[in-house]
Structure 1
Amino acid sequence: MSESETRVHTTHAQLATEVFDWGSIKWGVSAGLFPGAPLTAGEVIINPGKGHDLHTHPNSDEVLYVVDGEGVQTVGDSGEFPVKTGDFVFVPRGTVHSTFNTGWRQLRVIAIYTPGGAEQALREATDYARLAPGVPPVWERAR
């Protein structure tokens, strides 16, 4: 792509995979990929029986769309509620939240931060690893 061309598209094969003990993320839209992009969007995979810790995004609202699977979600004081394929969740900035997979297959979620940038904090997690584009994550079977 020449300097005069503007990127408008990404594919899974072009994207790094960010891996955690609970699953993985591929960020398909971000200011790093699309200079000036006002949001971040990516596919989150949460493995069966796994989830991420309660956390906040102080400067970004988050929208979650469940592409496939089932789980439980917490958002602020709402308590835990079930989520499944086709559900949307809105997480206002600064609100404590978490997602946990209660199903037998992977929970696939599209996550959107607005404004973008909240993904940077995930890279500070102790279980964070970054795989180069095209390198698949390897999961160990529990015994």
Structure 2
Amino acid sequence: MSESEKMFRYPKEVNTFAFDWGRLALTVAPEVNGAERFSGGVVDLAAGQGHSRHNHPGSEEIIFVISGTGEQMVEDEAGNPVVRQVGPGCTIYVPESRYHSTLNTGSGPMQLFVVYSPAGPERALRDLPDFRLVPPGAE
């Protein structure tokens, strides 16, 4: 694949990380298109599903709500949980190493675009017990 082809990626064209709570398709990452300073992709959460409280040591995260509604928790600088209802168009900033979680509280799917800086936190997802790697075009 040429460098110019790697610059334009759809979620269906890349490996998907599947979990019991949803899916992550990394469309930007060192192994996908050579991105050096960040990684990112599309997260799909079914109604009532979400990812549990976790953090990314050494990385910041941006979460952008594409569709659906949910409850977003991000800890403040004192470690207290700050919870907000979020919907399409909302951007959530997760400071470096802060704990956070997302829950789809709507009746339909919720879709997010996430960015990690620097790249790398997504590698730890492969160690989760419910992790499954789904190649493009499968499932």
Are 1:79 and 2:78 an aligned pair? no
TM-score normalized with structure 2 length: 0.90
**What is the TM-score of this pair, normalised by structure 1?**
0.88
Q: 2:102 maps to what in 1?
A: 99
Residues 29, 37 of structure 1: 8 Å contact kept:
no
Question: Whose helix proportion is higher, 1 or 2?
Answer: 2
Q: How many residues align?
A: 134
What do you get for the CA RMSD once the two structures are aligned?
1.4
SS in 1 for 2:50: coil
- 1:48 matched to which residue of 2? 47
Moved over 6 A (4+): none
Question: Which residues of 2 match residues 1-143 of structure 1 at below 5 A?
Answer: 1=1, 5=3, 7-76=6-75, 77-136=80-139
- Between structure 1 and structure 2, the one with the greater Rg is 1
State the alpha-carbon separation in 2 of the partners of residues 134 and 121 from structure 1.
24
Which structure features the higher share of strand residues?
2
Alignment gaps of 5+ in structure 2 = none
Measure the CA separation in 1 of the matches of 2:106 and 2:134.
26
Shift of 1:35: 2.2
What secondary structure does 2:41 align onto?
A: strand
Q: Counterpart amino acid of 1:11?
A: Y
Give the partner amino acid of 2:87: K
What SS does structure 2 have at the residue aligned with 1:133? Answer: coil
Unpaired segments ≥5 residues, structure 1:
137-143
